[in-house]
Amino acid sequence: MRIREFDCPSCGASLKIKRNQMTSTCPYCGSSVIVPSELFSGTGTVPHKITGFPITLNTGHVGKLFSRIILSIVLITLLTGGIVFFFVMKTSSVIESGMDTFKTTSESSDLPVVLEFGGTGMGAGLFQNARYIAVDANGHIYIGEFETGRIQVFDTNGIYITQWSFGDPDNYYLQAMAASRNGELYLIYGSELLIHDGMTGELLGSLAHPNGWGFDDVAACVDGSVVASWYKHSDDIIRFSPEGRVDLLLEEAISGQSGDSELSTDVTVDGMGNIFAYGSFNESFFKFSPDGRFLNRFGSDGDRPGQLTSPSCICTDPQGRLWVSDFMDLIIFDNDGLYIGTIDLNCSIYDMVMGDNYQLYGITVDDVIIQLDLSEYIEEL
């Protein structure tokens, strides 16, 4: 049976077909090609080559090789140029943005790192996808891993103390974690809210929404109460008293204000009990008073300073200011949601918590725990 040839319209490679073959797959670029009717029908004049390009290419072996080389060079050049252009523009944007916003807060974006430990690994003091951090009043640092079920405990100097597991890693993923001042850990896994002893891992109890499982995030309050977000069928915010009783339930807390659905809500609380909730679907912060009254919405004002890009975690400081880790920046709002300034961190943070004396603890994407001293920076705000 006669073998016929034509050029692939995508890469120019020579394709061989048999009589009455309607389609062919290019072995070089993988494109699925429809064979021209002149070749599979067996009628009409059959040229030796049919080119898929608007220019004439040499049909010999040397010509085909040359055309492929030229095409490869062109594609690589375009790809490389695009990548370089993207990073140049991104870097320029970050530098320009950092300069514009930081003028209102400080002359330098460098914050002192007073503690750094950890890294990726399986041993004590190393982490496998560390995602959550909490600190109690005694300075104990708790690190939770997303997939392994492991909680590690460190002293105030980052020295390893102990570790324990909260459940079967094949069945549970850690979704959120917070610590009370007396060292109790509130963990969300399996969409349930459980209480563990921070040092031993002993299960102390649980907290329940009236409609069962569906917890999303949790924050511990200075008075011993606990605030959590809940996502099943709704976007509720619920608060438990120090005794574990439900004393506040905001049904459809975010969607009830915005009119848009919300299925992923992060929460934090200031020292007065005001609740800040970030709705990722609504791309905004919503502030509620201790008695549940809606007070303000902020953080999504178009091109105004303080607009959020991709927040990963939030916390409040002792003055009630809200700190947001957004891409590689720390964005700061006052207690009423007014934008204060931006700090360029030069790294992304999965989770963070503000300790006493304005010590900020965070987990980087490299499984490294950092402690930043913000005490001098706070004086300039």
pLDDT in tens, 114-132: 999 999 999 999 999 999 9
Mean pLDDT (the chain) is 81
Helix, strand or coil for residue 280? coil
- pLDDT tens profile 234-244: 999 999 999 99
Whether residue 178 is predicted with pLDDT greater than 60 in this model: the reply is yes
Closest by CA position to 322, among listed 259, 252, 251, 381: 381
- Tell me the residue type at 369: I
Q: Decide which of 97 and 9 is more confident.
A: 9
Whether residue 285 is predicted with pLDDT greater than 90 in this model: the reply is yes
- pLDDT tens profile 64-93: 444 455 555 656 666 666 554 554 454 444
Work out the pLDDT band at 21, boundaries 50, 70, 90: low
Domain with CATH 2.120.10.30 in the chain: 110-379
- Tell me the residue type at 60: G
Whether residue 188 is predicted with pLDDT greater than 70 in this model: the reply is yes
As separate numbers, helices (DSSP H) first and strands (DSSP E) second, the chain gives 4, 28
Q: Which helix (H) or strand (E) holds 375?
A: helix 375-379
Rounded Cα distance between 343 and 340, Å, is: 10
- pLDDT tens profile 292-336: 999 999 987 555 566 788 899 999 999 999 999 998 899 999 999
CA 105 remoteness from chain centre: 26
The residue-averaged pLDDT of 369-380 equals 87
- Please give the full DSSP string across 192-243, using - where no structure is assigned: EEEEEETTT--EEEEE-BTTBS-EEEEEE-TTS-EEEEE-TTS-EEEEE-TT
Q: Is 310 exposed, middle or buried (0-12, 13-18, 19+ CB in 10 A)?
A: exposed
Q: Which residues contact 40 (CB under 8 A, 6 or more apart)?
A: 17, 19, 20, 21, 22
Work out the pLDDT band at 347, boundaries 50, 70, 90: confident
What does residue 224 show for φ and ψ, rounded to 5 degrees? 95, -10
Fold (CATH) for 110-379: Neuraminidase (2.120.10)
